[in-house]
A and B are shown apart, each in its own frame.
Chain A
Amino acid sequence: MEENLKWIWAAFSLAWALHLLYVYSLGSRQKALKRQVEDLRAQLEDQGRAQ
């Protein structure tokens, strides 16, 4: 029984670690793209003012 507990612990930890890692990757990709969008908008406004 106790010998087998390590397998169930490993399975659930691995599953949740993968979920959290994926959420982290989604969050960081989203943050990087938001920064890109803001930079591009600022660039557009600067170009608009210059003209």
Chain B
Amino acid sequence: MRTSAYPKPAAPPWLVGLAGILMMISFYLIFIWVPMERSMGVVQRIFYFHVPSAFVAFIAFTIGGIASIQYLATRKNSYDDLSVSANEVGLMFAVVNLLTGMLWARPIWGVYWAWDARLTTMLLLALIYFAYLILRQSVVEPTQRAVVCAVTSIFGMVDIPIVYMANQWWRTQHPAPVLSGEGSIDPRMRFVLYFSTFALLSVFWILVRMRRRIEDLRREADGLRREVHSL
């Protein structure tokens, strides 16, 4: 009788515990500790979830893109696994970013959505990764699937600097960058923004580990299926 190849959980308990503690501290900082922004009031606090979600999505897509380049160079399946895991989790964070942005825009701009450069390029970025996941399902041959997806992932990564620079290159309704741009930010707000990003990164890492386990299991199932058919 063979035992399971994966007796341990995909995410180690210490990482789950650390992410939980970081998220609790992050909630305390966002809702109690950080000062109220004068012009927008309480709605501005969406910013501490909206912006870190975008940062995490950018980091995820960059990891996915670099892993894709490494896959094309070495043809090692582990890079393809990392790429799909980071990209899928990154897409989830990009959707969170878009939706929280819409819920911030409604009370501040009076509309949920404006077709300005920042919002449109971010939506395009998310759509590229939706297409990536659809491609993943539709190409049957594993090597061909990995190559096509790697190219799409690299293409998606190229859009990241365009999204980031959109409100500097074009006139947009979206607020100017508060960290690197002309706008100033209270040091406490900056601290909470960085802390929330760090807390969300720990959640991201747990999700990537869980997603990679799925790829490991899929490869194992494919191998066993081939063995069964060869007997």
> Which A residues are within 8 Å of any B CB, using their own CB?
1, 3-5, 7-8, 10-12, 14-15, 18-19, 22-23, 26-27, 29-30, 33-34, 36-38, 40-41, 43-45, 47-48, 51
Which residues of chain B are within 8 angstroms of A27 by Cβ–Cβ distance?
Answer: 210
**Main SS class of interface, B:** helix
Q: Answer whether residue B140 sits at the interface, using C-beta atoms and an 8 A cutoff.
A: no
Q: Are A7's CB and B46's CB within 8 A?
A: yes
Binding site for A on B (CB under 8 A): 1-2, 4-6, 10, 41-43, 45-46, 49-50, 53, 89, 92, 95-96, 99-100, 103-104, 106-107, 203, 207, 210-211, 213-214, 217-218, 220-221, 224-225, 227-228, 231
Contact A7 B224, CB 8 Å, known A15-B53, A30-B210, A47-B231:
no
Identify A33's interface contact among B95, B107, B221, CB under 8 A: B221
Q: How far is the CB of A32 from chain B (nearest CB, A)?
A: 9
Q: Give the residue of B42, B50, B210, B231 whose beta carbon is less than 8 angstroms from that of A4.
A: B42
Chain B min CB distance to A17 (Å):
10
Task: Tell me, in angstroms, the Cα distance from A7 to B99 when the chains sit together.
Answer: 11
Check A7/B43 contact, CB under 8 A, given A15-B49, A18-B96, A37-B221: yes
**A30 vs B89: C-alpha distance when bound (angstroms):** 15
B224 touches A22 (CB 8 A): no
Bound Cα distance from A33 to B223, whole angstroms = 13
Q: A4-B107, A22-B92 are in contact. Are A37 and B227 (CB under 8 A)?
A: no
Give min CB distance, A33 to chain B, whole Å: 4
B214 lies within 8 A of A33 (CB): yes
Which of A4, A19, A51 has the most CB atoms of chain B within a 10 A radius of its CB? A4
B126 to chain A, nearest CB (A): 13
Least CB distance, A25 to chain B, in whole angstroms: 10
Partner of B4, one of A19, A34, A43, A44: A34
Q: How far is the CB of B107 from chain A (nearest CB, A)?
A: 5
